[in-house]
Every structure is written in structure tokens, then in C-alpha cells.
Structure 1
């Protein structure tokens, strides 16, 4: 039989460790269950994807300045022309495949600043091309949230409607799509794809009292643009106060990130606290993040996949939450009471919650071990369902011609 041609799509290889972790999970599934599949990517950082994962990759956008602010007439014209060219580029790429998978990520949400003509437009082109050309597009384990901005909402709703397969990483995502007018009766909910990645040893191996603190260049979401700097300053000041309080007690602190843009926050904390007890990790994968988390006795984190890495490593974590997905994740893993709002971060209250978390550390580690076993079983079901939906036994002569 002809080897099935699988395309993977998304903001992959662009510096976000969570996105790349979702890709790693799907590639692991394909290599285990469909080893003859020929895989390539249409993504934000093709060079990085090829270097790390060993698959051919194509740039998502024709216009190379897509992610830079367009202020001059030439740049505006280039972006506009790029949107038109991408219609044909995306369709040509989709046509070369039997199946296209969008692996995880929050592709159906706008919980962070997002413009409709950015990724929502690209996702719509993908799903529309898949429907027109007969190539199934699968949104696998994705995140979704209600969207107020009408253009973004419309693009996201139509992308979901045009996809051949949808599954979500939490029930709130499915509910959000239902509220936006998508028929979700046949859609399933499974744990985040990152829970299928290998787990390091969960025994703390770092210095006594080590606390991992995951940080983020947080400025609120789409609806917070008017007070983005105020939100960022409150989050950063509160985080600095929290780290300083730990250091004053002689506790070592390890700063973790989840995206390249977070480096500015790390630098600000290191400068403000100015202590050898505070160090920063340079991780390039979720595996690296999990290794860091597993070395700590406890953790505090804001990025969604930082939370997943701590939970999967079995490390009790306090979540600084900016979206419903984090609250849902913590509830799913038995730590619902250990959430703190990122937009109203209060260092004193955060420290109080952290003390409570540490007191229950042994009990919470047992809870996490049980919940991780459950997540693994549910993800096995996810991959079985995906195979049934996308890789049925077919006559090789029925495949599309290249």
C-alpha cells in the first residue's frame, strides 16, 4: 500500500515549548502506530522543526515580515499581498497530503493578544482547503475559549466547522465551541497531548527547599489591550515580591519559561532580586521543563504547559491562572484550590497559598500519581479514536494523485 502522507500544521518551531511539545506527542504517536507515514509540516519556524524533529517543513506565511508590526506602506502592502498568496500556498500544500493534523495548542481561543488576520486566518485557510480538496483536517486535543471579537470569532467558528475531526483538551473547550455555534455532539475530550510524553523521575533531586517558578511575559488577553501594561506591571511586581520572600528564607529558586518572549521577565526578576539563590534554566523542550520540575519539591507557574510539566512530573504546583484552561487543568488533576489570578496577583496571598501547598505536598504527590495514570489511559483512547477516524484501511489506488 502507498504510504499515507501526513501534514502537521501550526505555530510550531517558533519558540513556544508547549506547541512543540504537542507536535512531539503526535509525532511519537505516528511513529509508533503508523511508522510508514510520510510526515512534513507547514509551520511558523520550519528550520527549527526540521532541525529538532527531522521532518521537512515549509514556512507558514509567504511574507517573511508577518510577525513584525507593519507601519510603512511597503510593509502593509507586503502583508496584504501575503494574505492572498497564502490562499494558494496553503491549498497547494494541503493537496499534497492524505491527512492534515493540527496537534494540540490553543488554536480555537484568544486568551492571549491575537489579531483575526494572523493565525485565525491561516487556520481558516487550512480547514477550507481541506474541505474543498477532500483532505481531512483533524484538530487534535486543541484548546478553545469563547471569543468576543467578531471577525476572530467567525474565523475560528468556521475553521472548527470545516474540520473533519475535532477533540479537545478539556470540557470547557468543547463547551465554548458549542456556544459559538459548532455541533460538538461527536467531539471528544481528552487530556492535553503533552501528558503522553515520557516522564522523568518524580523524586526531588535538587538542593533542599528548591522551588521552580515558571514565568511569562504576561500582558493580559485580547480584551485587556487598554490596560496591558498595568496588568504586566502588577504581575511582574507581585512575582518579584514572591521570589524575594523565598530568597529571604534561604530558599533556592529556579526560574523557568515556556516561550522565547519570557526572557525579559527572567532578566527583570534576576536584576530586582539580585541573589545567587535565584537561577534561570535554559530549557528547549517540555522534557527539559519536566526534568527541572521533577528536581523541585514544589513549583509555581503561569504558562499552561509549565503547569502540565509540573503535574506530569508529580510536583505539587500552584497555578497563577490567566484563562479558564488552567483552572480546568488544575481541577482535573486534583489541585483546584491552588489557583491564583494572574491579573490580580497578590504576593502575600500567593505566599500564603504556597505555604498551604507545601504542607500537603506528600498527599498531593499521591493524588498526582493517580491522576497521571488516568490521563495516560484516556490519551491511549484518544490515539485509538484518531486512527479509526483518519487512517482507515483503504485501497491504495483510491488515494489522491500528487
Structure 2
């Protein structure tokens, strides 16, 4: 049989650890279940993806300055020309594959600032090309949310409609797509793909006892908050800084964590404002690194969605600085719905009270997380089996025939 050609698509290798974790989970599935597949990627950071995951990769955008603000005429023209060139590049890349997978990520939402001609346009090109050339495009375990901007909403809706397969990381994502006019009757819901990644074993902490991991974010609100972005960021940073200072004054060691390269200035600002040897920053290059830090911590307080996933997956009691409904849904799924605090309105005193309550119930919550993690792993196993049946029918048929032939 001719090996199936599988493409992976998205803002991968661009510095967002959550996106790369979803890629790693799907690669693990492909290598375990479809080792014969020929895999490559069209992504944001091709050099990183090739170096880290040993697969060929090409740039998502022809114009290298796609994500820089275009203020000069040349840059504006370059971006405009890039949109035309990308239409042909994407079509040619899709045509060379049997299956294209968009692994996880919030590709059907705008909970962070997003322009319609940016990734939504790229996703539309992908799904339209798949429909044109008969390549199965699968949106696997993606996030979705209501979108206010009309152009973005239209591109997202048509991308979803044109995809051959869709599954979501929570029920509210499926509900959001249904509300946008997408027929979701056959769409599946399962835990986030990162729950399929290996979990580090809890070991004796190498650092001081009582460590609290605090995951921070360059948070400026969502796509509809652009006019208030600076104000939202200042309030968030001030609230988190006060909370970290309170922990240090209480004698608690604090490890600051990030989930994207853009979060580094937030860490620097907190370290500068809280001058204490108890507050340090961790260097993390993957979700595995994040989980190693969180597995030996007493407690985690985090903002980014995949920081929360990592903390919950390690079974560490977690408090969410929630910036979107997806965070609330995740905490509810894992039995910690009571431990959410709004990222837009961080009240350091109230946050510290919630933190104390979380620690008082630590033993009970660890048991709850162990049970919920077991369920999540089982559900993802079922989902990957369904994915094989849908996207790789020839391989699934061959395996079934081989089982029948085995005495």
C-alpha cells in the first residue's frame, strides 16, 4: 500500500507551548497507530518543528513579516501580496496530502486579539483547498467560542463547514459552532489533546517545601477589548504582582512560569517589583517542562489555558486566573469549578483567600484529579480509535482483516 501522506497545520513552533503540546500529542498518536504515515507540517515556526519533532516543515506564510504591524507602504504591499501567494501555496501543499490535521489549539475562537486576515484567513484557505482537492481536513480537539467581529466569524464558520471532520475540547466549543450555523450533529467532544501526553512522576521536590507555581500571561483582554487593552493589562499585572508579593511575605517560595515567548516581560516586571529571593522564574521550553515544575509544587495558580491543563494533569491543586469560558469549562470538567478567579478583575486579597481554601482541601482535590485524569485518558483513547476509523479507513480495514486472519 502507498503510505498515507499526513500534513499538520497551525501556529506550531512559534513559541506557544500549548500549541506545540497539541502537536506532540497528535504526533504520538500517528507514530503509535500509523507508523507508516509520511508526516510533514505547514506551520508558524518550521525550523523549530523540524528540529524538535524531526519532521519536514514549511512556513505558513510567504511574507515573513505577517505578524508585525505594517506601518510603511512596502510592508502593507508585502502583506497584501502575501495573501494572494498564500492562497496558491496552501492549495499546493494541501493537494500533496491525503489527510491534513489541525491539532488542537483555539483555532475557532477569538478570546485573544485576532485579525480576520491573519490566522482565520489561513484556516479558511486550508479547509477550502481540502474541499477542492478531496483532501480530508480534520479539526481535531479544537477550541471555539462566540465571535463578535463579523469578518472573523464568517471565515471561522466557513472553515468549520468545509472541514471533513471536527471534534472539540469541550462541549461549549461545539455549542458555539452550532450557534454560528454549523451542523455539529456528528461532531465529538473529548478532553484536550494535551491530556494524552506523558505525565511526569511525582518525586521528592528538589526545591524548598511549600512551593507555589504561578503561571503568568501577557494578558490584554480579548478581541473585543482592544480599546481597553492597556488598562486590562495593567490591572492584571498589578493584581498578580500583589498576590506574588503576599505569598513571598508569607514565606512561600514562588516559581513564575510562562506558556508563550510573549509572556517573558510579565515575569521580568514581577521580579522587578517583588524583590525577594523566594521568587524565581523557571525556564520552560515545552509542556513537559511545565509539568516537571508543577508536579513537585504544592499548588499552582495559572492563567494560560495550557498551563492549567498541565497543572491539572499532574494532579496538583490548581486555581485558575480565568480569562475565557474555556478555562472555566476545563476546571469544571476536572472538579475544581469553585477555584476560578477572573483575570480581568484580579483582586489579590480575594485570590489569596481562594488560595488558602484550595490548600486546605489539597488532599481531597488530589484524589479528585487522579480520578478525572484517568477518565480523560480513557476518553482520549476512544477518540483516537474513532479518528483512525474516520481519517484512515484503509489502514483500519487492513488491521481488522489482520486480526481476523490471526489464529
Q: TM-score, normalised by structure 2?
A: 0.96
Where does 1:1-400 land on structure 2 (aligned, <5 Å)?
1-203=1-203, 205=205, 206-393=207-394
Summarize the Cα distance change of 1:339–1:394 in structure 2 as closer, same or farther, 3 Å threshold: closer
Shift of 1:394: 7.0
The separation in 2 between residues aligned to 1:185 and 1:204, in whole angstroms, is 47
The separation in 2 between residues aligned to 1:352 and 1:145, in whole angstroms, is 30
2:256 is paired with a residue of what secondary structure? strand
1:250 is paired with a residue of what secondary structure? coil
Summarize the Cα distance change of 1:127–1:355 in structure 2 as closer, same or farther, 3 Å threshold: same
Summarize the Cα distance change of 1:41–1:216 in structure 2 as closer, same or farther, 3 Å threshold: same
Summarize the Cα distance change of 1:204–1:225 in structure 2 as closer, same or farther, 3 Å threshold: farther
Q: Note the alpha carbon deviations across 1:107-162, whole angstroms, 9 max, x for none.
A: 00000000000000000000000000000000000000010100000000000000
The separation in 1 between residues aligned to 2:246 and 2:232, in whole angstroms, is 21
Q: Note the alpha carbon deviations across 1:298-331, whole angstroms, 9 max, x for none.
A: 0100000000000000000000000000000000
The separation in 2 between residues aligned to 1:289 and 1:237, in whole angstroms, is 24
CA RMSD of aligned residues (A): 0.9
2:166 is paired with a residue of what secondary structure? strand
Shift of 1:203: 4.9
* Number of aligned residues: 395
The separation in 2 between residues aligned to 1:126 and 1:140, in whole angstroms, is 14
1:343 is paired with a residue of what secondary structure? helix
Q: Note the alpha carbon deviations across 1:40-65, whole angstroms, 9 max, x for none.
A: 00000000000000000000000011
Q: Note the alpha carbon deviations across 1:217-258, whole angstroms, 9 max, x for none.
A: 000000111111111000000000000001001110000000
The separation in 1 between residues aligned to 2:208 and 2:24, in whole angstroms, is 30
The separation in 2 between residues aligned to 1:3 and 1:174, in whole angstroms, is 33
Q: Note the alpha carbon deviations across 1:63-88, whole angstroms, 9 max, x for none.
A: 01101100100100000000000000
1:246 is paired with a residue of what secondary structure? helix
The separation in 2 between residues aligned to 1:48 and 1:28, in whole angstroms, is 17
The separation in 1 between residues aligned to 2:263 and 2:395, in whole angstroms, is 46
Q: TM-score, normalised by structure 1?
A: 0.97
Shift of 1:202: 3.1
1:398 aligns with none
Shift of 1:15: 0.1
2:321 is paired with a residue of what secondary structure? strand
The separation in 2 between residues aligned to 1:7 and 1:361, in whole angstroms, is 42
2:401 aligns with none
Q: Which runs of 4 or more aligned residues in structure 1 lie more than 3 Å from their structure 2 counterparts after TM superposition?
A: none
1:29 is paired with a residue of what secondary structure? helix
The separation in 1 between residues aligned to 2:385 and 2:338, in whole angstroms, is 33
